[in-house]
A and B are shown apart, each in its own frame.
Chain A
Amino acid sequence: MEIRLRDVSRRVDGRRLLDGVTLSLRPGELLLLCGPNGAGKSTLLKVIAGLLAPTSGDIAYDGRPAAKWGPGLRRHLGVMLHESLLYDELTVWDNLVFAGRLFGVDGLAARADALVDEVGLRLVAREPCGRLSRGMKQRVSLARALIHRPSVLLLDEPYSGLDARWAGWLTDLLARERERGAGIVVVAHEWRLAWPLADRVAVINRGRLVMLKDAGGRSAADFEAEYRQLVIAGYEEGSG
Chain B
Amino acid sequence: MSYGRAVAAIIRKDFQLEWRTGEALLTPVLLSLLLMLVFVFALPPSALRSSDMFVAGLWTAVFFSGTVGLSRGFGRERPDGRLLGLLLAPVDRGAVFLAKALVSFLFMAISASATIPAFFAVFGQSPGAPVWRWAAVVGLVLLAYSGSGTLLGAVAAQLRAGEVLYPVLLFPLLVPVVLAAVHLTDALLVEGGWGSAGVWMNMLVVYNILFWGVPYLVFEYVVEV
Contacts and interface: CB of A to CB of B under 8 A. Distances in A.
Contact of B5 (A49, A53, A74, A101): A101
B103 to A, nearest CB: 14
A85 B81 contact: yes
Interface in A26-76: 49, 51-53, 71-75
**Contact residue range for chain A?**
20 to 34
Given A51-B87, A79-B88, A102 B80 contact: no
Nearest to A89: B20
B82 interface: yes
Nearest to A53: B224
Contacts of B82: 83, 85-87
A74 B96 CA distance: 15
Contact of B9 (A74, A101, A128): A101
A87 B6 CA distance: 17
Contacts of A71: 89-93
Indicate the size class of the contact surface on chain B: 20 to 34
Contact of B89 (A83, A102, A128): A102
Interface in B17-36: 17, 20-21
B49 interface: no
A53 B224 CA distance: 8
B88 A104 contact: no
B225 interface: yes
A77 interface: yes
A88 interface: yes
A90 B81 contact: no
B156 to A, nearest CB: 19
A31 B9 CA distance: 33
Interface of B: 1-2, 5-6, 8-10, 12-13, 16-17, 20-21, 79-82, 84-93, 224-225
7 smallest CB-CB distances across A and B, nearest first, come from A83-B81, A101-B9, A85-B85, A102-B89, A75-B90, A104-B2, A74-B90
Given A85-B84, A101-B12, A104-B6, 7 more contacts: A51-B84, A53-B224, A86-B82, A87-B13, A90-B16, A99-B85, A101-B8
25 contacts: A49-B88, A52-B225, A53-B224, A71-B89, A71-B93, A73-B90, A74-B89, A81-B81, A85-B81, A85-B85, A86-B85, A87-B80, A88-B79, A89-B17, A89-B20, A90-B13, A90-B17, A90-B20, A94-B13, A102-B10, A102-B91, A103-B90, A104-B1, A104-B6, A128-B20
Interface of A: 49, 51-53, 71-75, 77, 79, 81-90, 94, 98-99, 101-104, 128, 144
